[in-house]
Structure formats: C-alpha cells, structure tokens
Amino acid sequence: MEIDYIKGDGLVPVIIQHSLTHQVLMLGYMNEAAMTKTQTEGRVTFYSRSKKRLWTKGEESGNYLLVDDILIDCDQDTILIKVKPVGPTCHTGSYTCFKEETNKGFIYKLENTINDRIDNNDQQSYTNKLFKMGINKVAQKVGEEAVELIIEAKDNNDELFKNEAADLMYHYLVLLKAKNITLDEIEQVLSDRVQ
C-alpha cells in the first residue's frame, strides 16, 4: 500500500466508515507510524494533531474501531478504513461525529447478527433453533409471515402492518442464510435489473 504522506506534511486524512452500514463515522489523520500500528493491532490509531502523538481510538473509553478493510484513494493521499465500532464513535457519545443518527444499513447489522447466532451455534437463540429445523421449516415461516403481511395490508392498522413486515424481513434473512446467499447478492440482482 503506497500512501503519499508528503503532500500533507506527513499526515493523510482518514475517513472512518462502518463496514456493514457504510455510514461515515468520523474523520481523523494518520502518519506512517499510526498506519503501521493500525495494521499491526487491527484497531484504528490516529495521529492526534492537538496532542502531537499517536492516539488509538478507544484507548480511554474502550470504544475501539476494529478494522475490516483499508483502502486508499486514486491519488494515494486519503485513506478509507471500514470498521466495526465497539460502542459510539464520537467522544460526545453519538454514533457518529456528524450527528447523523440513522437506521439505514441496519438490515446488514441484522444479517450479521443472524449469521453470528447460527455460525456460533447459540443454543438460546430462536434464530439458531429455527435454522436447525431445516430449509423446509424456514421457508414455511417465510410463507406464513408473507400471508400475515398480506392480511394486515388490507386493514388500516399501520402498526400491525409494520410489525408483520418486520417479521417477514427477519425470516427472509434467515432463509437467505439457509440458502447460503447474502443480502449483497440479492442487491446485485436488483441493481443489474435497473441497469
């Protein structure tokens, strides 16, 4: 990874993005030592311009940024780090430093939780228990939830409709897992249809 630290007098801007939701969480700066430490430890370390030293995000709060991927831009003078945050990112306690509280991308977090419960064989998890019943039972649950959603669509109770829609979405994600297909793959199919 060839990063041009010279343009910024030894520092490059670093955009921190949630690896599942793609939400921008914060902006910091790195020098070469901060990048090396980040790559070695798997937690984001910045160069603090105010403290004039390396600073690992979460070193005091425990709210680390766990590295999933590191990318550099076409000019090699800006870094994008995709992370899984442990706790809030901003020192104010906000999810992001940009005060953008949103649930966009939550579906990917849910997919990740479903995968985790199944992959780690969580004995207490409804998700894992349903998955272990096999593809036929999972598909049956999707069908039942779809019918319940249709019934609620014909009535005027928006709360019941939203709850049934959520139930269908959840069971649909379990079915994707049972078929060993990801939400990204389904998005790609939809994207290809638009083009």
Place of tokens 């995000």: 57
Residue 106 has a pLDDT of: 81
The reply to whether 96 falls in a domain is no
The reply to whether 170 falls in a domain is yes
Cα(116)–Cα(131) distance, integer angstroms: 12
Mean pLDDT of 44-67: 94
The model carries a pTM of 0.68
Mean pLDDT of 119-146: 96
- Average pLDDT over the chain, rounded to an integer: 93
Cα(56)–Cα(38) distance, integer angstroms: 8
Residue 101 has a pLDDT of: 67
Strand partners of residue 194 = none
What is the per-residue pLDDT across 168-185, written as a single tens digit (0 to 9) for each?
A: 999 999 999 999 999 989
CATH number for the domain including 188?
1.10.287.1080
The reply to whether 91 falls in a domain is no
Cα separation values, 123 from 4, 85, 120, 129, 131, Å: 49, 26, 9, 7, 11
Cα(38)–Cα(35) distance, integer angstroms: 5
Residue 104 has a pLDDT of: 67
Place of tokens 């910045």: 46
Which residues span the domain enclosing 172? 106-194
Q: Is the pLDDT of residue 137 over 70?
A: yes
CATH number for the domain including 74?
3.10.20.810
Residues 113, 67 share a domain: no
The reply to whether 151 falls in a domain is yes
Residues 120, 41 share a domain: no
Residues 184, 129 share a domain: yes
The reply to whether 18 falls in a domain is yes
Q: Is the pLDDT of residue 94 over 90?
A: no
Provide the domain count of the chain: 2
Percent of the chain with pLDDT over 90: 78
Q: Is the pLDDT of residue 148 over 80?
A: yes
The reply to whether 5 falls in a domain is no
Q: Is the pLDDT of residue 103 over 80?
A: no
Residues 187, 120 share a domain: yes
The reply to whether 3 falls in a domain is no
Q: How confident is the model at residue 107 (pLDDT cuts 50, 70, 90)?
A: confident
